[in-house]
Amino acid sequence: MRNANAAVIFDHVSKAFGTKKVLRDVSFEVPAGQTLCILGRSGTGKSVTLKLLMSLIKPDNGKILVDGDDITGLNEAGLSRVRRKMGFLFQDAALFDSLTLYDNLALPLRRLTQKSQDEIEAIIDRVLGQVSLSMDRMKMPSELSGGMRKRAGLARALVLEPKILLADEPSSGLDRITASEIDQLLLEQKAEHGTTILVVTHDVHGARRVGDRFAVFDKGDLIAFGTAAEVEQSEHETARRLISEE
Amino acid sequence: MFDWIEFVGDVTLFGFRVIVDCFRPPFEGGQLLRQLAEIGSKSLPLVIASGFALGTVMTLHTRSTLVTLGAAATIPTVQALAFFVELGPLVAGLLLAGRVGSGIGAVLANMRATEQIDGIESLSIDAFKFLVVPRVVACVLVLPLLTIFMDFSGLLGGYLSEWAASRMSFVLYITRAFANLEWSNFIAPTLKTAVFGFIIGTISSYLGYTTNEGAQGVGRAATRSVVLSSLLIILADVILVKIIFFAFPENAL
């Protein structure tokens, strides 16, 4: 049954690449303002789920609703409108390596909004301040460390003030302290702006800190979905092991 | 065989999409200027140096034969005709295929592998219009200009070689060089390089933009861009020369 308050709905979604099925008949909902953490072993369809949501790839079957819009049937103009509601933090940040950090953030603001240069400056200052990169605004992406790149990627994902934030392994390759800082930024984003967040992660400790609900994937199947306590009671051993902090 | 037919079809559709998107707003003026600088001004030293060297060598090779035949006076004419009609356009095209084709293929493949293209799409920006169209348009605009530089640097190299051998004056050399040169010997061959530019831009963008081989695909896209662009330029040249002869029959005589 569909929740009218759901920001994201996956409705019997399947996806295959060639003969390899990466998602099989997956259905779940994420209520607005909540954080869903997607867990699972490598290659089980977690990142594909986020890319389907951003419509970077198309599902073979099923419907995907974002803020009430079925994105599977939208043309480019419709997709563009829906994408503006979302921000995407890619696994390796995916900053444009030919642009400075400042220009990386300014690009969507210049292209997609009518804001003046002063307003753009103010937004970039605020967002870079949030991720503690104010002093690095003129650096090229290649000059940033791994943790800084993640934070820069998060800044770019937040610069258009998205209603839905997608984060693909935001803490991978980071030390515990830096990963914790990223988690804190996600928590602040949800608390201050009511942003719906979907996080793909292998970091169970961080997931339990930021997540309201958890989806566990195994070989393309959604084997468990619910709160941490519910997933801990799952009939699937893989789900119970993945949610366990031990 | 079927893969090749599919490849040709995909590249053709890709090229059509570039042409259609050229005339569809928003226009990527800033990106185009950046690519003109990247592709044009940074290729200029290579083109001038190559043209100069080729002009010098060509005169060294042809001079002895023409002097033996008693046709020393035609050396500037031969040099000018060779460069303006064929050598300049073709060599400029092949040089650009090497320098720019590999660059475009590698850059776009790297952007695909590092999810930068997905990043652009996720920001509601049309990645094709933003990345591909300016590169192809820049190649189309820049190649005729670089060809002119190639032609004149070749002529200059030829003159210096001739001056070293016979102390011919610059005015006499230029007068003889252009004496038998028609506008059609210059305009049509120079403009045909716009087609070479389209081939380089489209092939290398296609190979980079559509790769799905990760980091391994970057090197492969660069190599294939150069090989395919160069081959297609030479094949297209044959067809374009025939078309020029058809449009300007006096050139064929």
pLDDT band at A245 (very low <50, low <70, confident <90, very high): low
Backbone angles phi, psi at A75, to 5 degrees: -85, 180
CA B220 remoteness from chain centre: 21
Q: What does the radius of gyration of chain B's CA atoms come to, in whole angstroms?
A: 21
Kindly indicate whether the ipTM for this predicted assembly is greater than 0.95, answering yes or no.
Answer: no
Six token digits for residue A89: 């933090």
Q: Is the CB of residue B211 less than 8 Å from the CB of residue B217?
A: yes
pLDDT in tens, B3-54: 889 999 999 999 999 999 999 888 888 889 999 999 999 999 999 999 999 9
Report pTM.
Answer: 0.87
Cβ A76–B126 below 8 Å, yes or no? yes
Q: Distance (Å, rounded) from C-alpha B210 to C-alpha B199?
A: 16
Could you tell me the two tokens for A112? Answer: 């997609």
* Residues of chain B found within 8 Å of residue A94, distances taken between Cβ atoms: 114-116, 118-119
- Angle B102-113/B216-247 helices, nearest 10 degrees? 140
3-class DSSP assignment, residue A176: helix
Local structure of A215: helix, strand or coil: strand
Average pLDDT over every residue of B203-224: 89
Predicted confidence band of residue A4 (pLDDT cuts 50, 70, 90): low
For A205-224, the pLDDT digits (tens) are 899 999 999 999 998 899 99
CATH superfamily entry for domain A6-95+164-243: P-loop containing nucleotide triphosphate hydrolases (3.40.50.300)
**CA end-to-end distance (rounded Å), chain A:** 35
More confident residue, A174 or A204: A204
What span, in angstroms and rounded, lies between the C-alpha atoms of A3 and A81? Answer: 22
pLDDT at res. B253: 56
Burial A216-238 (b: 16+ CB within 10 A, else e): bbbebbbbbbbebeebeebeeeb
What is the distance between the alpha carbons of residues A199 and A184, in angstroms, rounded to a whole number?
13
> Does residue B119 sit at the A interface (CB-CB below 8 Å)?
yes
Q: Taking the domains of chain A in order of start, what are their residue ranges? A: 6-95+164-243
pLDDT score of A78 more than 80: yes
The pLDDT, as a whole number, for residue B124 is 87
pLDDT, average across residues A49-70: 93
Instruction: For residues B79-96, give the mean pLDDT.
Output: 94
Q: Is B125 on the interface with A (CB under 8 A)?
A: yes
Q: At what angle do helices B183-209 and B133-166 cross, to 10 degrees?
A: 140
Q: Which residues of B touch A56 (CB under 8 A)?
A: 118, 121-122
Burial class (CB in 10 A: 0-12, 13-18, 19+), A5: exposed
- Amino acid B185: pLDDT: 83
Asked if residue A95 lies in contact with residue B116, where contact means CB atoms within 8 angstroms, the answer is: yes
Chain B CB contacts of A107 under 8 Å are 123, 125
The alpha carbon dihedral of A218, A91, B222, B23 has a sign of positive
* Residue A132 dihedral angles phi and psi, to the nearest 5°: 60, 45
Quote the CA–CA distance of A94 and B120 in Å, as a whole number: 9
Search chain A and give the residue with CA nearest B121.
A56
Helix and strand numbers, DSSP H then E, in chain A: 9, 10
Q: For residues B16-32, b (16+ Cβ closer than 10 Å) or e, as one string?
A: ebbeebeeeeeebeebb
Answer yes or no: are the C-beta atoms of A91 and A168 closer than 8 Å: yes
Q: Which residues pair with B137 in a beta bridge?
A: none
